[in-house]
Chain A
Amino acid sequence: MTETPLLSVRDLKVEFPTRRATLTAIDGVSFDLKKGEVLGVVGESGAGKSITGSAIIGLLEPPGRIAGGEIRLKGERIDNLSQAAMRKVRGKRIGMIFQDPLTSLNPLFTIGEQITETIMTHLPVSEAEARKRAIGLLEEVGIPAAGDRLDAYPHQFSGGMRQRVVIALALCAEPELVIADEPTTALDVSVQAQIIGLLKRICNDHGASVMLITHDMGVIAETCDRVAVMYSGRVAEIGPVRDVVKSPHHPYTVGLMGAIPTLIGEHDRLTQIPGSMPRLDAIPKGCPFNPRCAHVFDRCRAERPDPIDVGASRVACWLVEEGRNGHANEVEQA
């Protein structure tokens, strides 16, 4: 791997200072994203997926702040840029798609106004040219009669159509990276697959890498090249989708896979992971997963595991490191 990754996150730490204590929402997250790659980020609610996305684009909600580590885009650090410099990165180099298309668009402006406004902010084009591009983009994301729909307001579109508009908006200044934060969660199941397919195709066409944040393992398996499993503000396991889905190493990943219903096989009950993710002010010592882990042993409660290479993946688990991996995979059958 000599090529500089498009996005490189190293030991990212995000803190939320509160009156009582400083909560660490992200603690030592590292991953790379190559050009053209689709990286999935999964985890339960509160695992820090969205915060990682917000930190990369520099839009952490105050009082949240990046407390350590670095984020590089094509080798340049972007985590310590000024507000003005970061603004030029947002939209222009990193596009962002949010969860709820119904509320992502300003209700008082036509979608044409919103798209041309964004294009003209980032690219030196005339308004007529921006309008032309906007129509082109809307056609690309599959909005029929794009020319006429340009002067329509968001409320005149359905949820799926609005998410298409949002995708067009995220891509309108040709960013190199698109961060999609649960882009289909708020949509009908029937529309979800369409939108994910569209997102993947259009990013591929425009040569943009994608960081797809979701809690839907099925979407990850179908769409992504690599996947990062997050737990309690840390990356538990990261690797090629095939490896992570077919032969997960971390007991948490194993649990996640066991919680997906399959049509094949004899399982009539889904396995579930007992307990819930720790609150930010009560993250246990050692491995944060240890209270819920079926294979916990003394070291897990004392020391925090660092990610180590296992094949093409990286896994943060003492089981793996101590070669007790065999047990982890058996959970599925248990």
Chain B
Amino acid sequence: MLAFSIRRLFQALLVMIVVALIAFTLFRFVGDPVNQMVGVETTPEQREALRERLGLNDPVIIQFARFILNAAQFNFGTSYQFKQPVAEMIGKRLPATLELSIVSAILAVLVGIPMGVYTGLNRDGVLSKFLLSASLIGISLPTFFIGILLIFIFSVNLQWLPSFGRGEVVQIGWWSTGLLTWSGIKALILPAITLGLFQMTLIMRLVRAEMLEVIRTDYIKFARARGLPNRAVNYRHALKNTLVPVITITGLQLGTIIAFAIITETVFQWPGMGLLFLQSVQNVDIPIMAAYLMLIAFLFVLINFVVDLLYFYVDPRLRAERAIK
């Protein structure tokens, strides 16, 4: 278990270094950063001085080492556009994105798993067939369209929920949360549904498929033959066996939710990292793009690591195999 964790940590580190290399190449090859920072009337001497100051004249390998060292300390330099430290800007935006993503993921899991179990057990029920058809909509409609649709129904027509922004936020240390105010929660509902709908239907279909598979296995038949109540058979014996693939997909999807919150954040003008990233792309603000890239990679690696550890918790067979090796 410990050996496994350490091995995984090394792998994670490797992944991060590769991503750092990609992020770093952005600086080197996507345009000249100096051009982005200075005006047209700057003299070549001033440009050269700035180059020297930014360390752009050092050998590539030294620049890369410096980039990694700085990144390890969450120092991603200064935004070309806003002239503020990137780490600070992202830090301000991070809570908004994380809150939105995590609420979406929780929503997707809490609704998706029971729907999956239900449709798996009642294959031919009317409600199952309805949910399955409805889930096709969730899978096939693009996120921005769902967002606009929800805004149209609930904000424009019914005027129940706000159509943009985060509402009032409460500052707890460096973390700003919208979960503690009524307007914050109201503002969160539509974006969370928009962002989570795809994952919800995906989880539902996955759980359903796994359930159908597991229900046919001998140990479920044997559990029934032992006269165990349906509840125990379905929710204890069957559901637990569907969890390994569900955890994998849910974990990966959480990463995807965070990374692709961009679209939802744009539709709802949600002040998160995605919106910041989009602006930075428009402005060729490479430090922000690089930092965003690193952060998303880090979150993916972190989530995968947690998912791997969860496997051990759920499936005893993995524990034993590792112990033998």
Chain B residues numbered 279-325 whose CB sits less than 8 Å from any CB in chain A: 314-317, 320
- Contact (Cβ within 8 A) B232 A59: no
Chain A residues with CB under 8 A of B227: 87-92, 118, 121-122, 173
Q: Of the 9-residue stretches A101-109, A207-215, A310-318, which lies at the interface with chain B?
A: A101-109
- Contact (Cβ within 8 A) B221 A107: no
Chain A residues with CB under 8 A of B223: 106
- Contact (Cβ within 8 A) A100 B317: no
A155 interface contact, C-beta 8 A: yes
- Contact (Cβ within 8 A) A153 B226: no
- Contact (Cβ within 8 A) B225 A155: no
Chain B residues with CB under 8 A of A155: 316-317, 320
A255 to chain B, nearest CB (A): 31
| Complex Cα–Cα for A290 and B317 (A) | 51
- Contact (Cβ within 8 A) B320 A104: no
- Contact (Cβ within 8 A) A96 B225: yes
The total number of A-B Cβ pairs within 8 Å is: 79
- Contact (Cβ within 8 A) A108 B221: no
- Contact (Cβ within 8 A) B225 A98: yes
B120 to chain A, nearest CB (A): 15
| Complex Cα–Cα for A57 and B225 (A) | 7
Contact with A along B236-258 (1 / 0, CB 8 A): 01001100000000000000000
Chain B residues with CB under 8 A of A104: 218-219, 222
B230 to chain A, nearest CB (A): 8
Chain A residues with CB under 8 A of B222: 96, 98, 104-105, 166, 169
A155, closest chain B residue (CB):
B317
A225 interface contact, C-beta 8 A: no
Chain A residues with CB under 8 A of B220: 106
Contact with B along A248-276 (1 / 0, CB 8 A): 00000000000000000000000000000
| Complex Cα–Cα for A90 and B218 (A) | 16
- Contact (Cβ within 8 A) A103 B219: yes
| Complex Cα–Cα for A153 and B230 (A) | 23
B237 to chain A, nearest CB (A): 5
| Complex Cα–Cα for A89 and B225 (A) | 9
Chain B residues with CB under 8 A of A306: none
- Contact (Cβ within 8 A) A108 B241: yes
| Complex Cα–Cα for A234 and B264 (A) | 65
Chain A residues with CB under 8 A of B129: none
A117 interface contact, C-beta 8 A: yes
- Contact (Cβ within 8 A) B232 A107: no
Chain B residues with CB under 8 A of A99: 218
- Contact (Cβ within 8 A) B221 A98: yes
- Contact (Cβ within 8 A) B226 A169: yes
A122, closest chain B residue (CB):
B227
* A to B CB contacts below 8 Å, 23 in the list: A59-B225, A87-B227, A90-B225, A91-B225, A91-B227, A95-B226, A96-B225, A98-B222, A100-B218, A103-B219, A104-B219, A106-B219, A109-B240, A117-B228, A118-B226, A118-B227, A121-B226, A121-B227, A153-B316, A155-B317, A166-B222, A169-B222, A170-B226
Known: A59-B225, A98-B225, A99-B218. 5 other contacts (CB 8 A): A90-B224, A91-B225, A106-B237, A122-B227, A153-B317
